[in-house]
Chains A and B, each alone.
Chain A
Amino acid sequence: MAQSNFDRRRINGPEESFLPIFDSDEEEETRWKPGNPRIGRGARDIRPIFLKAGLINQANGSAYIETEKTKIACAVYGPRQSKSTTYNEKGRLNVEVKFAPFSCTRRRVPIRDAEDRSVAVQIQQALVPAVRLELLPKSTIDIFITIIENDGMEGCIASGSVAASAALADAGIEMLGLVASCSAAVVGKEIWLDPTEEEGKVSSGTLILAGMPALETITSVWQSGSMTPTDAIKCMEACQERYMDIHAVAAQALLQNAQNT
């Protein structure tokens, strides 16, 4: 017996149920077809970004980012003493990503799975070169990222990295520079920046670039799907150009926060 309080006298519904998904006619019209230009915005445009630091007050530092249908909250705790028994000259950066159950079109079971971890690994990789971990021996910094609404995994990773770097700066943790990140997708012959979930599905390959615009250095490049080398380089150039704007948004938000306190 799986459940002890299972009611056998009445007709029970199935354990799991999903809403039927209809293909509405309206959606059919607005769906992108090969050969058409991108719907809603230009190929090299990104979604507008809202970023605010310091919204979670029990955390050491925090940030909230919203780009249309991607909503992410990020909290930073620490530096606290490492629990591990080995001596570490450098600090550790611990990133945990959680998807809210309602974040995707289909309900997500609130258990850590492989996807959470791969997102966490990519965000961690984007941040580690920027944090001055050599100043924090024997310590651990915990970053908790909650994805409240998800519209494309690439966008989540890019926005998550930006939010986490803003939260780290808000927590007063020493960094070499702010991290900005941008994603790109190859759709047909075009390169679309900051793809949504729908656009990610029609694309042949995606690329996520993270770096520190202030130092003109790149911290992480992540490419998936098929992409020619020329396309990959074009994507990187487009991302690098655009993440300057993202950096400006993050800098503005942090500056405003610093002035108010």
Chain B
Amino acid sequence: MSSDIVLPGQPIPIPRGPMPHVGNGLYSRDGTVRASLIGVPSYAGSALEIKRTRPRPPAPDSIVLGLVTRLSPLQAVVSITVVDGVPLPAGEEFTGVIRVQDVRATEKDKVKIADCFRGGDVVRGLVLSLGDARSYYVTTARNDLGVIFATSEAGATMEPVSWQEMRCPKTGKIEKRKCAKPEGM
């Protein structure tokens, strides 16, 4: 297998037949497909790609995990720490913003940020766009997106009871959150 490792700039022989879709870690120039990463090219569906194991900046459509750092009536600021399942190195977080209209898909005008997120919550979101100079725009408007980890005022880890409520196991108090649907339910 080791002989199959390619280096940046190395041309990749393409078998006869239709030209594969050039995916991650590859580029085509002057009709030749070349690698732009170190790795082993492989097919993922119809696309030829080199898998990357290193963290990378968020791009539109990537699933990110982040920590809510600041709330305002218009938006929640999250510090993105995991992109597509790859954790970023410490101190290299990206900032994302969940705007009030991106919190959920329905009844967008009735959303109150304070009833959906609290500081310190861990949120799973989808990157909508590159956003502005400072932050990426993130949405939680999907069943599987939203708060996945939160602590109550009493300090205990809460469990979701509905898509907009979480219960503290210690006090039994119910707090409002935009919860993500737990996986495997």
Contact = CB atoms under 8 A, between A and B. Distances in A.
Contact of A214 (B9, B52, B54, B94): B9
A214 B130 CA distance: 33
A255 to B, nearest CB: 6
A79 interface: yes
Interface stretch (B33-41, B63-71, B156-164): B33-41
Given A176-B9, A176-B27, A214-B10, A84 B53 contact: no
Interface string A4-28: 0000000000000000000000000
- Mostly helix, strand, loop or mixed at chain B's interface? loop
Contacts of A251: 7
A258 B36 contact: no
B133 interface: yes
Given A81-B94, A172-B54, A174-B37, A212 B9 contact: yes
B36 A175 contact: yes
B132 A87 contact: yes
A132 B53 contact: no
Nearest to A84: B133
Nearest to B5: A258
Q: Size band of the B side of the interface?
A: 20 to 34
B134 interface: yes
Interface in A67-110: 77-82, 84-88
Contacts of B10: 214
Given A80-B92, A178-B9, A259-B5, A85 B29 contact: no
Interface in B53-93: 53-54, 56-57, 89, 92-93
A152 interface: no
A87 B27 contact: no
A199 to B, nearest CB: 31
Contacts of A172: 37-38, 52-54
A132 B7 contact: no
- Mostly helix, strand, loop or mixed at chain A's interface? loop
Interface string A35-67: 000000000000000000000000010000000
Contacts of B54: 60, 171-173
B119 interface: no
A178 B8 contact: yes
Given A169-B37, A171-B54, A177-B9, 17 more contacts: A60-B89, A87-B133, A132-B27, A136-B57, A138-B57, A170-B38, A172-B37, A172-B38, A172-B53, A172-B54, A174-B37, A177-B8, A214-B34, A254-B7, A254-B38, A255-B7, A258-B5
10 contacts: A60-B89, A80-B92, A132-B36, A169-B8, A169-B37, A172-B38, A172-B52, A175-B9, A214-B9, A258-B39
Interface of A: 60, 77-82, 84-88, 132, 136-139, 169-178, 212, 214-215, 251, 254-255, 258-259
Interface of B: 2, 5, 7-11, 25, 27, 29, 34, 36-39, 52-54, 56-57, 89, 92-95, 130, 132-134
